[in-house]
Amino acid sequence: MIERHLFDAEHEGFRDTVRRFIEEHVTPHHADWEKAGQVPRSLWRKAGELGLLCCNVPQEHGGVGGDFLHSAILIEEMARAGATGPTFYLHSDIVAPYLVDFGTPEQKAQWLPRMASGEVVVALGMSEPSGGSDVQSIRTQALRDGDEYVINGQKVFITNGHSADLLLLACKTDPSQGARGVSLILVETDRPGFTRGRKLEKIGCKAQDTSELFFSDLRVPVGNLLGQEGGGFKILMTQLAQERLVQAIRAVSAAEAALEWTRSYVAERKMFGQTLADFQNTRFTLANLHAQVLAQRVFVDRCMALHVKGLLDAVDAAACKLVTTDLQFKVMDECLQLFGGWGYMWEYPIARAFADARMCRIGGGTAEVMKQIIANAILPKTRKP
């Protein structure tokens, strides 16, 4: 493997803490969480106690005060362990940055310290039954009534939806304005008018609670508005590069883990008087996958280095997310094949990783949306006269 130069000694010390946390508090219980459909609140509090939440949030707002590389380490190690249940990355690296960059002093003081401690769990409410990636077409409305917004609508596929104490909700405050009518509103889940639907039964990521959410004449004060009214779409666009990089980090780290599981398995599995590793098909398959994953590791590390400097643009992030998640699924598929019948058994990590990987080409923006973003950048449309 090519030596990585992103992380310093302090980062690697943090990685040791993360690995111990996963070994002691995640891996032994993950199968039970898959059956329950969510992780316990105690895990969030333990992660907060160890400084694993909101790593990139400044200390003055209650965070750890680290950089994005601390977050990346946690994302990598969770992916390598096949721990898809604890969605700390959504809480810390997708939602928290919106509050840091656009929240009022009061909003930051109220929420960020409790997010960092694990006392409060947050979710991002964007996807709706009529569509997920097309944010400007959302139907959930938040209409002004004096000093309050009255919210009506429905969300679906909401990660952390069953656990969340706070939602960052994308709403239409002016339904006539398309993207310019989208606003982001902080919604506490203990307010009258909020109802959680069922925990959705997915083919993978089973320990990750994913829910339907309903809003019926739910009222919040106008002070819960994040940023400017009608500015929600622009705010969302500012964080897309990081959101897609998070998915790419997860994808390449999970692929690396799957290759290691498979290498160990084929070296021991006997067939026709030799190990699976002795067959040319096995050797060529794993050699090809290793080369492709190595290339994507270099790409992801380069994107991380650019992102830390504030130089990663949305198009490159989309490209990174597209190729890494496509490769992740290919790796899981071909590695599972080498496990034979055992690879189809849920008790084997490769079976769960195969099912989990399918979501990654959808979440954080579908592969088709990534292609559209890239195509628009490299092939500008020409209007017919």
Angstrom distance (rounded) from CA 274 to CA 280: 12
Angstrom distance (rounded) from CA 178 to CA 85: 35
Angstrom distance (rounded) from CA 369 to CA 322: 9
| DSSP codes, 94-153 | IIHHHHHHH--HHHHHHHHHHHHHTSS-EEEE--BTTBSS-GGG---EEEEETTEEEEEE
**96 - beta bridge partners?**
none
**How many C-beta atoms surround the C-beta of residue 313 within 10 A?**
13
* Torsion angle defined by CA atoms of residues 131, 135, 141 and 142, in that order, rounded to the nearest 10 degrees: 150
Using alpha carbons, select from 239, 253, 247 the residue that is nearest to residue 321. Answer: 247
Which one is catalytic: 243, 260, 334, 368? 243
- 243 as an active site residue: the answer is yes
**Catalytic positions, please?**
243
